[in-house]
Structure 1
């Protein structure tokens, strides 16, 4: 550990710096004549800073350093990286026209003025070097505290009170300058940077090195967020700074609006988490490991564009509460928001002419740039588009996002986990990235068109962050880092939305494929979204999340949904309907409308038992989609062993309960009132001994089931996500000479099955024939399901009996 006297004389004689809070305060606006002179820079001038791109006349972000190195190589790369980030911040702040811009509170009242973000990275650097043991004292007690903590508002109306007595700008500049000197002295002189990682003092050594990585990456986080804060200033407060990367050419290119196009993605599993052996810095939430799954889904080829979002605005989306969540509508009403945050209305009310505010300019609204909105707005658009398209749409999950990356066959978690060099944005500087389609690491100074040429999905990395359905949560194996205990842990509260992918201004760690960041759903930043059609209630990383949990949050438990939609079928009313179907007999037609039923309705009774009778007899039978077990009970009279499988746990539980007990249920009456009390009788001991009920997936039946003489699939096929996965499993599931009976109305719906996977009866027969089955019989099979006393679902399924040749 170095003594502070060896590092620097850290006494700052800033008499005016001894400030506290005051309710009546006018910011200091004098003594800032140096702002647009060479005296503004507290470190190297941009053209002399590592990473300067003379060809483009801008300062380019460098790649992240290897923190496993030691000695001169580590010192050199860390110093270059630190100086590069420090200077990028000052290039950005040089855009402010005068001191007023530093002290002007943001209009939304949710953040400090920019003077805080000018001093904040310096304060964190000093404080974290003290925590790591590299310093024994701070730089300036008041400033070390004043600039330490930002604002994390709890709600959209939790406004920051602008009462802080902010120091003179020149004093903050001096503080930054001294803090930079401290950091550079540690990089150049601290012995920890020479100690082998395997040495006895490895822990202390790593803390010092890790604190330097943290200081660099923290600076870059606020480089990005300050870019957003400058977009929120009056346009007269900013000007385009020298040495900032140019805007992407697509900002001013001629654009048009394309419809939202959905692309199919195979389901699969993803392992989340960054190996601790990797060389670059990461925040604590990126470590740990979790394998998570997603079913096949469809996702929009690109992020939703300004042009596509404009349709929602024109359709009155901001005036229609039915599209919004309760909290989202409350936020919209509180803010009286009528269009996205960074749009500026340029025409008369109702004409819908807008400009887009960029960090330093306003341009006519580019229709093919990503629509930068908050999560409330993203959800509202997805719900509106669902009604327009007639299919259920939502945001992607963290797993689905990474499955899209795999579909692009570029940088993925799996590849980067095995080989760090694959994580190109973290291992390539902006100069190398500028010629590529990837708009990240400040290769460009603005967002760009979503049509970047990457296939099948554009804009997954860089350009604009993407919201997920998931809430920010720890991965199993997470450990709060002692150098920054409140970076992630307080935000594991079920109120911070997970964001992925980075933006054009994301540099270093933020641009890594392992990066996982978070914002509250009402917050605006460089944030966009895309839409997904898939499982209605998918698995999220916030389901069953590992501890710690904050603010009283308890993560929800994931309940895997069936293709039939078990969230619907497991309700009390639906469970009663299916118990009636399987065990109610003529009583299922009871009620004031019974005299109106014709013989065809009578013929629709006892559907489960009629289906079972088609399969004859044998040793083992399998009922896939068995619901509450009526078909299995019937099969038990002619088979030695019957296995029933259903995805809905409630159905499986009810069927297992019937092995030993009667089940009472209330038949639905009129006007949603309870009807007659009914009884589903328990199976006989002989029947129960033959029956096994399991929860399972028809599209992924395990080999451990063995083989069967008969398989029943009654009203199952058109509710499967992957019907061919089930059909193609049958050859290995059915014994020679065995039978398969399908009963299906072929009423396909895109919310369950992608349209390109829909089958006709003829296509089913052809596929079964290819799989070695012969069609023995085909006939209509009627089924009636009671909704209530005056409403019945009457369905005529197409029955098809196959025999394995």
Structure 2
């Protein structure tokens, strides 16, 4: 038997620490305290008692993690300036149950509309150099911890009653109403990990060790042997998930996708803290030649000199926000009093403690740091691709075996997932797989070279249309394998997730290299230009160097990004402003005026979904006191804001083409009438209809022909429109009463229809169908 060497465990409490942890339990817990996670549900063979237990386990496990905060004030601290305070994440998962169950029709009443609005969605981490990017504003006054705990308790009781009262029909599949409940549970399990990362980013004085928390051994045996490279012969691999597999899955996991992997080599172990220390010691953070352009900009902005969860005594720049933005892990004597350091100049920030550096644990870094390390090792090194990671897994059981083919469903899990420990483990602690690789599943997530993208034929769910599709932008890299706290189906072999390359997670990497350079990497990169509001179109770059990297690029599976081109923008400007006879906006405006008079619609507020560059919204200011205009396309909203600012702009339309190449263009002028009060319009870019949009007298859905998932937009129209108001749905591609009614179901009552003709930018005549609806 190998000797196991332990450092002091986080589970060792003084009486004072135990009392503090128990005090937080009394404040937070709506059920039992637990640090044990259940296996996911086999959706072909389950019952209400099992679903109830799985829900309660997730709910309680999430609350139990938060008992690691010392007091209520810690909930209102912002561990990351790109994120919200922790109170948001404590409440967020509860609000999602209500929002999703309501969409699915499983419940008819909300628990607390105010909470289900402010806790519906967080901030976007799209930019690493944004500061205090609070969606609610830095001075927003959050509800008290007592109020939020009461809300969680109400949601818990609502979900339990829903489980009890709703007939269960098996199997549960993506069209089942029960899918929404399972989605809520798996979403909560994702956020257990999300919150753990944020808690880990908090200054250590705001946290405490929860009851029974257990860190892993410092090392095993005689320590780590050389991290050798293993040759993988490659071959055909299957990625993705069969749509009939009886477990919950997120949209980007489907369908199955087959590809071929050329031979390659990759490291036996994840890169450890000890290995990464050599990079730091050799000036890796000071040598620009090892970093990508984006990586060096991030490193410079953050003034990073070592990984974020390493602790030194140099007062390194903090990534926290709000009133703790100047508080840093890296200051003298900031180690917990229970620990003494024997690891030289660096200590290590575990989730609830600062401890001696565990050199044999995997290093936690973002993609920029992983990429720089690979470059430092040599030009042939890189991180693996998604397809290569599948090849590294060895022989996999076929999906027709059932859920037992997936490790997270088995009783004999022998890897560091599902909170086996409250930390990473030595990379040689768990046995290697048949090919000789350790930690293919668990310990820390592994960064992949691929951009996050869907598989060919992927479809989104109307319950969560924007779960991953907005991330298919070439700016998010994939991570696979899960970490020590990953649980539920997020620890499944099918799980695919991705983050911006500056993002911190419990994530590391291992080295890989191609055997030959004359083959195309099994690498999926995105070349679809995406316009980011306020930033424009930024260059999409390859994440690794390879002689045939150009052949790895393809289109984003998010078709909505195809609207972001300049030619599409010019077409919609021409549609709204340039056509003089049978102009689209003019004729739609005429139809809406008739509807307003016929149904005696109040003229307080109107919502225009699919506003494009905004002409209809500006015209509506003549009628309504409040005008809100929404589009998912950043380039369209950017143009609308420019028009709002100056009242006019120039645009171009093609005059002639030769072999699909534009040979001449004509510049035209788009102008808002001088008597319109442009300031009355509120323009917003949104990829979904959030709860903050509500209470409209008239709602115009004018982009049903452009969105990827029509149902995701239509099912919310009734709730956001007043009972005295009218919903107008416009389509030029055949969405009439008979196609819309099965989607909106009982939510909207059909009133009638209208139509108008318009001339397209190419000069052709077309007809738009306008259907009218009222809230039931």
Task: Specify the TM-score bucket, using the shorter chain as the normaliser.
Answer: 0.5 to 0.7
| Residues 306 and 371, structure 1, Cα contact 8 Å, conserved in 2 | yes
- Asked if 1:236 is matched to 2:216, the reply is no
The whole-number CA distance in structure 2 between the counterparts of 1:541 and 1:65 is: 32
For 1:144, which of 105, 116, 122 is the aligned residue? 116
Aligned residues: 494
1:274 corresponds to which residue?
A: 241
For 1:428, which of 397, 410, 432 is the aligned residue? 410
The alpha-carbon distance between structure 1 residues 122 and 458, as it changes in their structure 2 partners (threshold 3 A), is: same
The whole-number CA distance in structure 2 between the counterparts of 1:518 and 1:132 is: 27
1:155 corresponds to which residue?
A: 127
The whole-number CA distance in structure 1 between the counterparts of 2:49 and 2:529 is: 37
The whole-number CA distance in structure 1 between the counterparts of 2:241 and 2:87 is: 35
1:269 Cα offset (Å): 2.0
1:541 Cα offset (Å): 5.1
| Residues 375 and 521, structure 1, Cα contact 8 Å, conserved in 2 | yes
For 1:222, which of 175, 180, 191 is the aligned residue? 191
* Residue aligned with 1:442, SS: coil
The alpha-carbon distance between structure 1 residues 471 and 282, as it changes in their structure 2 partners (threshold 3 A), is: same
Gaps of 5+ in 2: 1-19, 317-329, 331-342, 551-776
1:354 Cα offset (Å): 0.8
- Asked if 1:401 is matched to 2:393, the reply is no
* Residue aligned with 2:249, SS: coil
1:554 Cα offset (Å): 12
1:419 corresponds to which residue?
A: 401
The whole-number CA distance in structure 2 between the counterparts of 1:567 and 1:236 is: 47
The alpha-carbon distance between structure 1 residues 555 and 341, as it changes in their structure 2 partners (threshold 3 A), is: closer
| Residues 489 and 548, structure 1, Cα contact 8 Å, conserved in 2 | no
For 2:72, which of 83, 88, 99 is the aligned residue? 99
* Residue aligned with 1:269, SS: strand
The whole-number CA distance in structure 2 between the counterparts of 1:285 and 1:324 is: 30
The whole-number CA distance in structure 1 between the counterparts of 2:130 and 2:177 is: 36
- Residues 477-505 of structure 1 deviation map (CA, whole Å, 9 limit, x = unaligned): 21111110110111111111110000110
1:174 corresponds to which residue?
A: 150
* Residue aligned with 2:177, SS: helix
The whole-number CA distance in structure 2 between the counterparts of 1:41 and 1:548 is: 45
The whole-number CA distance in structure 2 between the counterparts of 1:502 and 1:363 is: 23
1:196 Cα offset (Å): 4.9
The alpha-carbon distance between structure 1 residues 232 and 484, as it changes in their structure 2 partners (threshold 3 A), is: same
1:295 Cα offset (Å): 1.2
The whole-number CA distance in structure 1 between the counterparts of 2:119 and 2:247 is: 27
- Asked if 1:323 is matched to 2:311, the reply is no
- Asked if 1:520 is matched to 2:503, the reply is no
The alpha-carbon distance between structure 1 residues 423 and 228, as it changes in their structure 2 partners (threshold 3 A), is: farther
The alpha-carbon distance between structure 1 residues 76 and 453, as it changes in their structure 2 partners (threshold 3 A), is: same
1:481 corresponds to which residue?
A: 461
The whole-number CA distance in structure 2 between the counterparts of 1:529 and 1:213 is: 31
1:44 Cα offset (Å): 2.1
The whole-number CA distance in structure 2 between the counterparts of 1:496 and 1:334 is: 19
- Residues 114-162 of structure 1 deviation map (CA, whole Å, 9 limit, x = unaligned): 1111000001111111111112232212110111111222111123243
The whole-number CA distance in structure 2 between the counterparts of 1:337 and 1:507 is: 31
1:548 Cα offset (Å): 13
The alpha-carbon distance between structure 1 residues 34 and 441, as it changes in their structure 2 partners (threshold 3 A), is: closer
The whole-number CA distance in structure 2 between the counterparts of 1:282 and 1:553 is: 32
The alpha-carbon distance between structure 1 residues 257 and 439, as it changes in their structure 2 partners (threshold 3 A), is: closer
* Residue aligned with 2:462, SS: coil
For 1:450, which of 427, 435, 451 is the aligned residue? 427
1:512 Cα offset (Å): 0.5
1:110 corresponds to which residue?
A: 82
The whole-number CA distance in structure 2 between the counterparts of 1:543 and 1:516 is: 15
- Residues 763-799 of structure 1 deviation map (CA, whole Å, 9 limit, x = unaligned): xxxxxxxxxxxxxxxxxxxxxxxxxxxxxxxxxxxxx
1:40 Cα offset (Å): 2.6
| Residues 501 and 513, structure 1, Cα contact 8 Å, conserved in 2 | yes
2:449 corresponds to which residue?
A: 469
Q: Which has the larger radius of gyration?
A: 1
| Residues 425 and 508, structure 1, Cα contact 8 Å, conserved in 2 | no
1:302 corresponds to which residue?
A: 269
The alpha-carbon distance between structure 1 residues 263 and 74, as it changes in their structure 2 partners (threshold 3 A), is: same
1:746 corresponds to which residue?
A: none
1:384 corresponds to which residue?
A: 376
2:722 corresponds to which residue?
A: none
The alpha-carbon distance between structure 1 residues 543 and 37, as it changes in their structure 2 partners (threshold 3 A), is: closer
| Residues 262 and 521, structure 2, Cα contact 8 Å, conserved in 1 | no
The TM-score normalised by the length of structure 2 is: 0.60
- Asked if 1:440 is matched to 2:417, the reply is yes
* Residue aligned with 1:382, SS: helix
1:785 corresponds to which residue?
A: none
* Residue aligned with 2:215, SS: coil
- Residues 305-344 of structure 1 deviation map (CA, whole Å, 9 limit, x = unaligned): 1000000000000000000000000000000000000000
The whole-number CA distance in structure 2 between the counterparts of 1:475 and 1:155 is: 26
- Residues 514-553 of structure 1 deviation map (CA, whole Å, 9 limit, x = unaligned): 11011110011100001111055843553479x9989699
Equivalent positions of 1:709-720 (< 5 A) are none
The alpha-carbon distance between structure 1 residues 549 and 337, as it changes in their structure 2 partners (threshold 3 A), is: closer
The whole-number CA distance in structure 1 between the counterparts of 2:426 and 2:21 is: 38
2:659 corresponds to which residue?
A: none
| Residues 446 and 510, structure 2, Cα contact 8 Å, conserved in 1 | yes
1:271 Cα offset (Å): 1.5
The alpha-carbon distance between structure 1 residues 405 and 146, as it changes in their structure 2 partners (threshold 3 A), is: same
The whole-number CA distance in structure 2 between the counterparts of 1:352 and 1:317 is: 19
1:460 corresponds to which residue?
A: 440
The whole-number CA distance in structure 2 between the counterparts of 1:307 and 1:175 is: 45
| Residues 303 and 528, structure 1, Cα contact 8 Å, conserved in 2 | yes
The alpha-carbon distance between structure 1 residues 326 and 352, as it changes in their structure 2 partners (threshold 3 A), is: farther
The whole-number CA distance in structure 2 between the counterparts of 1:281 and 1:567 is: 34
| Residues 92 and 241, structure 1, Cα contact 8 Å, conserved in 2 | yes
The alpha-carbon distance between structure 1 residues 109 and 404, as it changes in their structure 2 partners (threshold 3 A), is: same
| Residues 21 and 208, structure 2, Cα contact 8 Å, conserved in 1 | no
The whole-number CA distance in structure 2 between the counterparts of 1:155 and 1:37 is: 34
For 2:30, which of 40, 43, 48 is the aligned residue? 43
The alpha-carbon distance between structure 1 residues 95 and 254, as it changes in their structure 2 partners (threshold 3 A), is: farther
The alpha-carbon distance between structure 1 residues 68 and 348, as it changes in their structure 2 partners (threshold 3 A), is: closer
1:11 corresponds to which residue?
A: none
The alpha-carbon distance between structure 1 residues 137 and 281, as it changes in their structure 2 partners (threshold 3 A), is: same
The whole-number CA distance in structure 1 between the counterparts of 2:305 and 2:97 is: 40
The alpha-carbon distance between structure 1 residues 557 and 145, as it changes in their structure 2 partners (threshold 3 A), is: closer
The whole-number CA distance in structure 1 between the counterparts of 2:408 and 2:147 is: 35
| Residues 238 and 360, structure 1, Cα contact 8 Å, conserved in 2 | yes
The whole-number CA distance in structure 1 between the counterparts of 2:188 and 2:548 is: 47
1:627 corresponds to which residue?
A: none
1:556 Cα offset (Å): 9.0
1:420 Cα offset (Å): 2.9
The TM-score normalised by the length of structure 1 is: 0.57
The alpha-carbon distance between structure 1 residues 266 and 549, as it changes in their structure 2 partners (threshold 3 A), is: farther
- Asked if 1:64 is matched to 2:40, the reply is yes
The whole-number CA distance in structure 2 between the counterparts of 1:543 and 1:156 is: 21
The alpha-carbon distance between structure 1 residues 460 and 561, as it changes in their structure 2 partners (threshold 3 A), is: closer
| Residues 340 and 372, structure 1, Cα contact 8 Å, conserved in 2 | yes
The alpha-carbon distance between structure 1 residues 151 and 348, as it changes in their structure 2 partners (threshold 3 A), is: closer
1:43 Cα offset (Å): 2.9
The whole-number CA distance in structure 1 between the counterparts of 2:247 and 2:166 is: 20
Gaps of 5+ in 1: 1-32, 47-57, 569-805
1:220 Cα offset (Å): 0.6
1:423 Cα offset (Å): 3.8
1:557 Cα offset (Å): 13
The whole-number CA distance in structure 2 between the counterparts of 1:224 and 1:124 is: 16
The whole-number CA distance in structure 1 between the counterparts of 2:454 and 2:177 is: 25
| Residues 21 and 211, structure 2, Cα contact 8 Å, conserved in 1 | no
For 1:84, which of 38, 57, 63 is the aligned residue? 57
